[in-house]
Amino acid sequence: MNNRFDKIFLVAGARPNFMKIAPIAHAFNRVDETNQIDYKVVHTGQHYDYEMSQAFFDDLEINRPDYFLGVGSASHAVQTARIMMAFEEVCLKEKPGAVVVVGDVNSTVACALVAKKLGIGVAHVEAGLRSYDRTMPEEINRILTDTISDYLFTTCKDANRNLKKEGISKGKIYFVGNVMIDTLLQFRAKAEKSAKIKIDQEDYALLTLHRPSNVDDKRTFKSILEALKEVSKRIPILFPAHPRTQKQVKAFGYEKYFNFLELNPKNTVKLRNSINLSGPLSYVEFLNLMAKSKLVYTDSGGIQEETTILAIPCLTIRENTERPVTIEEGTNILVGSDREKIAEESDKILKGKGKKGRIPKLWDGKAAERTVNILLGRPYEPFRPQ
Ligand code: UD1
């Protein structure tokens, strides 16, 4: 059977992309051996530290990238422009029939734009999510990428509705489920078995925080830290911090809020009743610690979804979310940066009254398979948005 495309690029650039391309790469690898699909992994290099990038390729068993563009960090304009220039060269050389982009980072929109202008098909995985907050760089990336995509693969019903409202034709929208959840379900057991970091107590909370709106504004960051410092007197908080956040802690002189930790896998980690700050963790280590935590604080998009599947209460330190399904059906609650709201909702969870939630439709571990079958023009009846 012929595939619709002879050659496909699978693009990733930043940490939250890697868990989304992993199951798609694995599904491409499973396409029958006589009819192998020629796919190439392109890594833009938006993230480059070992813990932010290669650690994920190792944990998630993704082949080494065929192309590493090495663009690195810069302002939005410079980073986006560098990705576009480097990616165009690779597209002109390789002439893929389609480019698959995932998520909402600068690499997503930059590569989609290059492909579209070269007449290459664009597929967007995780299309249609909207926070309706255009001050978020990711919201701009989402809207622009969806506007020019030919295949829009969605994770939830609200994404289908958002796309239809924006005038995207129904025929381009494929409701396939959540590829990031495919990865979580695939690697959950491995995480439990092979994670090395051990914590000295059962009751702890986990924190991630890196959004510019939370960590680049001195007062907002302080208000969040004071609220969490208060909670940490009742339950220690483990905070594997993004490099951007670590820089901001130093820049604002906020070291006093933290107990600084070295996560040495050889020794059991002793948490204090404080915010225990470490460097970023690999996928397997983070997943294992998240699955065992009592509660998660985050401003990440993906973690709102992962806690829903793990049935761990999640307090999202943002005013809005592009993932409302995690509130309507999952374990997520928006608390913003408000000290009282953070304290109040934490208290409920610590008293055992956290949200239970249920699993959203099609978050079943088969989203990548559906995506790849549709992309290759193989028989598969997708769930069409009503
Ligand atoms: C990017 C994404 C964001 C995503 C986040 C996950 C955009 C617009 N934002 O934000 O949606 O939630 O990734 O991590 O694409 N840095 C390092 N090492 C690295 C990478 C970054 O030290 O490997 C530092 C650099 O100082 C850099 C800063 O982090 O300037 C920000 O990196 P950048 O890729 O610009 O944005 P993120 O905040 O990571």
Instruction: Give tens-digit pLDDT for 192-233.
Output: 999 999 999 999 999 999 999 999 999 999 999 999 999 999
Mean pLDDT for the chain?
A: 95
160 C-alpha to center of ligand 1: Å?
A: 28
Tell me the angle at which helices 339-350 and 218-231 cross, rounded to the nearest 10 degrees. 30
Q: Is the CB of 242 under 6 A from ligand 1?
A: yes
212 C-alpha to center of ligand 1: Å?
A: 10
Using one digit for the tens of pLDDT, what is the confidence trace for 20-39? 999 999 999 988 666 678 99
Q: What pLDDT, on a 0 to 100 scale, did the predictor assign at position 380?
A: 65
Q: Is the CB of 15 under 6 A from ligand 1?
A: yes
Using one digit for the tens of pLDDT, what is the confidence trace for 323-335? 999 999 999 999 9
β-pairing, 38-43 vs 67-68, is parallel
Q: Is the CB of 370 under 6 A from ligand 1?
A: no
Q: What pLDDT, on a 0 to 100 scale, did the predictor assign at position 31?
A: 82
Q: What pLDDT, on a 0 to 100 scale, did the predictor assign at position 263?
A: 87
**pLDDT over 70 (residue 56):** yes
Tell me the two tokens of residue 280. Answer: 């970023």
Q: Is the CB of 309 under 6 A from ligand 1?
A: no
Neighbours of 149 (CB within 10 A): 25
Using one digit for the tens of pLDDT, what is the confidence trace for 233-291? 999 999 999 999 999 999 999 999 999 998 888 889 999 999 999 999 999 999 999 99
Nearest CA to ligand 1 atom 19: 47
Q: Residue 229 is which amino acid? A: K
Could you give the angle at the alpha carbon of 22 between the alpha carbons of 18 and 26, nearest 5°?
165
By C-alpha distance, which of 210, 204, 301 is closest to 259?
A: 204
By C-alpha distance, which of 166, 42, 51 is closest to 102?
A: 42
Place 312 in a pLDDT band, splitting at 50, 70 and 90.
very high
Cα–Cα distance, 66 to 38 (Å, whole number): 12
Q: With beta carbons less than 8 A apart as the criterion, state whether 331 and 311 touch.
A: yes
Residue 48 Cα: closest atom of ligand 1: 23
105 C-alpha to center of ligand 1: Å?
A: 9
Nearest CA to ligand 1 atom 2: 105
Q: What is the mean pLDDT of residues 92-116?
A: 98
Q: What pLDDT, on a 0 to 100 scale, did the predictor assign at position 113?
A: 98
Nearest CA to ligand 1 atom 17: 243
Q: What pLDDT, on a 0 to 100 scale, did the predictor assign at position 9?
A: 98
**pLDDT over 90 (residue 160):** yes
Using one digit for the tens of pLDDT, what is the confidence trace for 180-190? 999 999 999 99
